[in-house]
Structure 1
Amino acid sequence: MTDTSYYVILNANAGTAHAIGATAEMVGALFQANGLTATIDDDDERDLTSRIADAIASDAPTIVAAGGDGTITALAAALVGTDKNLAILPLGTVNALAKDLHVPLDLAAAVAALATGTSHRIDVGEVNGRVFLHKVVVGLIPGLAAGREHIRGRQDTAAKIGFMRYFFRRLTRAKKIVVAIEPSNGHHRVEKVQAIAVASNAYDEGLGQFFSRHSLDRGTLTLYVLRHLTVGDFFRLTSGMLLGHWRSDEALAMESVQQVTIKSRKSMLKVMFDGEVESLQTPLHFTIRPRALSVIVPAVTAEAEVAA
């Protein structure tokens, strides 16, 4: 990269940021050590929308999300359609997009990677006009994820045991939902399912590849339909993901689509939206926006993309 000017939005309350005590001074020092100029916004008292607007209005060609997946998705949504790049300092708990882009999870290494990084365009998904980077999940999974929120930030054994009890209790009592699935290039049908996920591109199948994506610019959505999920299904699917043979599991169906609409009798559905639980109004209209977002990736990642 030739321009070394960056505007950083720091969420010091994100999982890893809080754990390591990340501050504006710490992040600024890392940029300076790598010969990079950065404006650091760590004002958590202001709403994120206003902070993002200030970042976009700045002269910096690259806006850096220093936080978790929620911060990254919010910033990405604002950058789609602009001439600015998104860069990531993975300071959250999951850091899903950073892992897909092979951004170092160590803060110092991630900043150092910016110095030699290059821009690469990736797809984004949309549901009812809102941008998502990973997936939107309907059905059982959002309810299970909601239980996780009660122990976020807690590392004690009692909290973990309590969540596992909650998880398996919900799993054994879970009811299926009835939805109409209407892909633009496939068969329209009504199904009774445990969960549905719509992902930007597709998750890879391979040894140890757990919800990871090698390619983010294929220009397709992937529809995953989980028809049932017993305790046995859960352990079989989990082990299948770790061993690299989950796509053929009889509980799961998948297909590539350009657009898909999911209808329900309910006016609102609880979803997991890029890892955050919320409610969306139905019907849910999904589409893909090919190569709509410019992201900064490490040089080694760019070289691997060219080789592929």
Structure 2
Amino acid sequence: MAALFVVFNRASGRGDTDGFAPAVQAACAAAGRDCHLLPVQRPGQLAEVAREAVRQARAAGGIVVAAGGDGTLNGVAQAVLGSGCRFGVLPRGTFNYFARTHGIPQDLDGALRVLLTEAARPVRVGRLNGRVFLVNASLGLYPQLLEDREAWKQQFGRSRLVALVAGIRTVLQGHRSLRLTVERAGQQRQLRTLTLFVGNNALQMEQVGLPQAPAIDAGRLAGVALQPVGRWTLLALLARGAFGQLGEADQVQHFAFDRLTVKGRSFGARRIKVATDGEVFWLPLPLQFDVAPEPLALIRPAGLAPERQEARA
């Protein structure tokens, strides 16, 4: 019967047009649970509100809940990790990969039912230079794709179709490759790639057809590197991913790891553009990807998510 401290992002694309706040309060009241809504009123305020939610939850023995897309969940998880608080999710994004891979329904009623009835279970998360990522982190082409996608969403609305069209447009523009030095398990190698993608979401791996989902289930991270190719080949690879066949492409390298260090080899920049869970920013080199030593205590159903069961069938 722990109290819920819900970080609700009013600054997100969906706002509160669907009556989210009253619905959450009504469900909690019906279950006899205290509910405290902590709205994020403007961009840039998320980290501050998340820290306040953690402070209040720790004092009350409560649960911190993130309501929003994967970017909002990331920001709240950053504050929750290591705090000793349990973590709940009410997904409100476009793709909601984190919720889906852990069996949390995308509809509000279903997500509330899980939040109010299920127990906390440990979930491993990734880190990039100490910053949490729940779904993926990347550099190269993928952060640019995310930036372009966000611009299209601002103009045409948030939908998976808009995201797909924006991705095709970005791919057709052409991009320079990165020359990197990567180190894992004590060994260094040179890597030339259009994008380096690090996944922490088994469902996402399964959907695009990459064989690293079992490694993620075992608490590791999945690295994916795309060899330099022309824009039409790149577009064909995008189609392969859409049909769950990316792992069959010769131009795609994939591997599992616990810790990966990335240094720039052919450019003199001291920092590089990266993305974590859909949010794009700059980080200093070298980059350090690893698995956080402490898991999140996520409120989720037991067992394999139904969507993942269907993907394996």
TM-score (norm 2): 0.82
**CA deviation digits over 1:196-250, x for unaligned, max 9?**
0122365666567799957855221211111134344344434433443322311
Indicate the residue corresponding to 1:52 in structure 2.
50
Alignment of 1:58-207 (within 5 A): 58=56, 59-155=60-156, 164=165, 167-168=168-169, 171-185=172-186, 187-200=187-200, 206=206
TM-superposed deviation, 1:66: 0.9
> Aligned with 1:144: secondary structure?
helix
Cα distance change, pair 252–19 in 1 and its aligned pair in 2 (3 A):
farther
> Aligned with 2:93: secondary structure?
coil
Cα distance change, pair 14–70 in 1 and its aligned pair in 2 (3 A):
same
TM-superposed deviation, 1:144: 2.1
Q: Does structure 1 conserve the Cα–Cα contact (< 8 Å) formed by 2:193 and 2:228?
A: yes
Distance (Å, rounded) in 2 between the aligned partners of 1:200 and 1:263: 21
Indicate the residue corresponding to 2:296 in structure 1.
293
Cα distance change, pair 100–15 in 1 and its aligned pair in 2 (3 A):
farther
> Aligned with 1:115: secondary structure?
helix
Q: Does structure 2 conserve the Cα–Cα contact (< 8 Å) formed by 1:221 and 1:257?
A: yes
Q: Which moved more, 1:233-242 or 1:278-287?
A: 233-242
Superposition CA RMSD, Å: 3.4
Distance (Å, rounded) in 2 between the aligned partners of 1:94 and 1:11: 16
TM-superposed deviation, 1:33: 2.8
TM-superposed deviation, 1:125: 1.1
TM-superposed deviation, 1:171: 3.4
TM-superposed deviation, 1:103: 0.9
Distance (Å, rounded) in 2 between the aligned partners of 1:129 and 1:39: 29
**CA deviation digits over 1:29-52, x for unaligned, max 9?**
222234332111125159223322
TM-superposed deviation, 1:70: 1.7
5+ residue gaps, structure 1, are none
Matched, 1:6 2:9: no
Indicate the residue corresponding to 1:282 in structure 2.
285
Share of identical aligned residues, percent?
26
Indicate the residue corresponding to 1:241 in structure 2.
241
Q: Which moved more, 1:221-230 or 1:248-257?
A: 221-230
> Aligned with 2:246: secondary structure?
coil
Distance (Å, rounded) in 1 between the aligned partners of 2:212 and 2:253: 18
TM-score (norm 1): 0.84
Matched, 1:271 2:271: no
